Structure 1
Amino acid sequence: MEWGMTDATTRPPDFPILCRVTPWYFKRMAMLAGMLAAFGLYFLYDGKFGYPAANRIADKQVWFEEVVLRTFDEAKAAGKVDVWVENARQQGWPTGRDGEPPRWVSHAAQNGWPEKPHRYTQKEIDEQFWWGGGTLLAALFVGLTILRNRHKVLRGEADHFISPEGVVVRHADVFRVDKRLWDNKGLAYVWHRPEGGSEQKVVVDDLKFDGAVQVLAQVAANMKGELIEKVHTPGSAPEPAEEPPPEA
């Protein structure tokens, strides 16, 4: 994103400059909302169905060990394994083979269950609903943000610009523009003193508002103040510290 190197910044612009929200911004925010909604539904599914189903399998393992294996051991001690096997078959229990006790590993594999089922606590189940609700609320917030930005416009005029929030920034009131993040993130910070009052900062976002580069170029052409462009990198000499602005 070159500063002052495009036709858009070298030709006199037509006023007003209307910078509307870019499709890229809406696409990115829609993807974020969709991702949050998907995670939220996944959390709710686990809390409602996934974790309880896992606990039912853990209950099956307890039943297998405390009922099936225990009664088998009792029958074996009494020399009645054949009777136990017949009764087990009638009840649909696993029976083992050749007089050997049934094995949980085999029984779990036949039913598509994990060999070592995990049991979730009620706290863990409740947390899924909290996470699901919170994530869905975040998705709703992003969706509302998309709706709020549908009609936002960054408007540039010959001697001032109006931010998407409605802040009027007169070029004559601007005393500093920081565009060190412009090349990488499309962000610039414009400091101004409305009518000589206290300083305020306005963000100009070229990734979000199409054509914001023209607005910023107009500011730079008309302002009488400091333009910060360099980014300090390791190994290079640091920039001198900024002096505080004079009292209004």
Structure 2
Amino acid sequence: MSDRVVCKPTPWFFLRAAAMIVMFGVFAVLFYKDGKSGYREANLSYFLSESFKKAAEEFTAKGASMSPEEWAAYASTQEVAVPENPELLPVGTEFPIMWPEMLHDHAAMAEKGVSNPKSYFDAYRQESGLAKSPPEQSYTQQKINEQWYVFWICLGLLAVAIFFLLRTLTRKMVVEGDTFQPAGGKAVPIKDLVRLDLRKWSSKGLAMAWANDGSGGERKIRIDGLTYGGFKAEDGEPAEKLMQALKSRFSGEIIEYETDEDESEEALPADASEARD
């Protein structure tokens, strides 16, 4: 066994960290876009679509009896009903918003606008370049504010994920001679270790150790084999190699789950155990 065993961050950790960074980054961008402009653009689309429904009702009620010129004159004076708060619509929206010119066309209204105002609006949306389809209900200021709240949360989580990635990049676990260097902590003489808990080592790659802190207390040390070293056979199981090196130099208490063999041996009478030996 080599005198020096080093466990650096594993590809598994980098993959998990990258996935979290991408996830929080994508969410932050999406919520930022919705908070800044997306919900406002959707609101504009909603109120414009409502004007197509209103125009269909108006045309059914009186437009059909009007001449094309009369209907065009009437429609050109109609405004899109919008909320009083201009911040619910995209920045730069000019008020008042008049009915789109498609609604001024008497023949088109009679043929398409009345029978299917939604489809007629979809044609207008494609022609005018409206990016957002209309929602079921318009978004309130509270809903827009919520997008900003979640954006800041995602941005904070993104910063945390990047922090842990950068911090882990600089860490490693090392057993060298009679010294153990835990990840992110100062080196400790292995003779100062008093207890080693291996109950989660085989299932989760996680162990805990306690060392004398020099002032009558104990220092708790985390040994994370999944993050540092790993257990891939093709890599030589670095984390397991480190643990074996640590155990070979350790003389304190080891806490492990009892195996079935250990339990069956304890259940045997003393003379039966001796006879088996």
TM norm structure 2: 0.66
- Does the alignment pair 1:146 with 2:152? no
Partners of 2:156 and 2:145 lie apart in 1 by 17
What is the aligned counterpart of 1:227 among 231, 254, 261?
A: 254
1:154–1:162 Cα contact (<8 Å) kept: yes
Pairing 1:87-98 to 2, within 5 Å after superposition: 87=73, 91-93=101-103, 95-97=108-110
SS, match of residue 92 in structure 1 = helix
Identity of aligned residues (%): 25
Structure 2 gaps, min length 5: 77-99, 127-131, 230-237, 264-277
- Does the alignment pair 1:29 with 2:17? yes
Partner AA of 2:45 in structure 1: I
- Does the alignment pair 1:206 with 2:225? yes
Aligned position for 1:53: 41
Aligned position for 1:137: 156
Pairing 1:1-248 to 2, within 5 Å after superposition: 12-15=1-4, 17-66=5-54, 69-70=57-58, 72-75=60-63, 79-80=65-66, 83-85=69-71, 87=73, 91-93=101-103, 95-97=108-110, 101=114, 103-110=116-123, 111=125, 117-195=136-214, 197-210=216-229, 211-230=238-257
Aligned position for 1:244: none
Change (3 A) 1:142 1:98: closer
Partners of 1:115 and 1:127 lie apart in 2 by 19
Moved more, 180-189 or 95-104: 95-104
Change (3 A) 1:209 1:200: same
2:197–2:208 Cα contact (<8 Å) kept: yes
1:191–1:202 Cα contact (<8 Å) kept: yes
Deviations along 1:29-52, one digit per CA (max 9) or x if unpaired, are: 122111110110011112223211
Aligned position for 1:239: none
Change (3 A) 1:216 1:171: same
Count residues in correspondence: 219
Deviations along 1:118-173, one digit per CA (max 9) or x if unpaired, are: 31111111211221122123212222322222221212122220212233333222
How far did 1:200 drift? Answer: 2.0
SS, match of residue 188 in structure 2 = strand
User: What RMSD in Å do the two structures reach over aligned CA positions?
Assistant: 3.2
Structure 1 gaps, min length 5: 1-11, 237-248
Change (3 A) 1:174 1:196: farther
Partners of 2:258 and 2:62 lie apart in 1 by 80
Partner AA of 1:92 in structure 2: M
Change (3 A) 1:158 1:225: same
Change (3 A) 1:102 1:83: farther
1:108–1:115 Cα contact (<8 Å) kept: no
Aligned position for 2:90: none
Partner AA of 1:222 in structure 2: R
Partners of 1:184 and 1:106 lie apart in 2 by 58
Partners of 2:54 and 2:163 lie apart in 1 by 54
How far did 1:82 drift? Answer: 5.0
Partners of 2:190 and 2:114 lie apart in 1 by 88
TM norm structure 1: 0.73
2:46–2:138 Cα contact (<8 Å) kept: yes
1:187–1:204 Cα contact (<8 Å) kept: yes
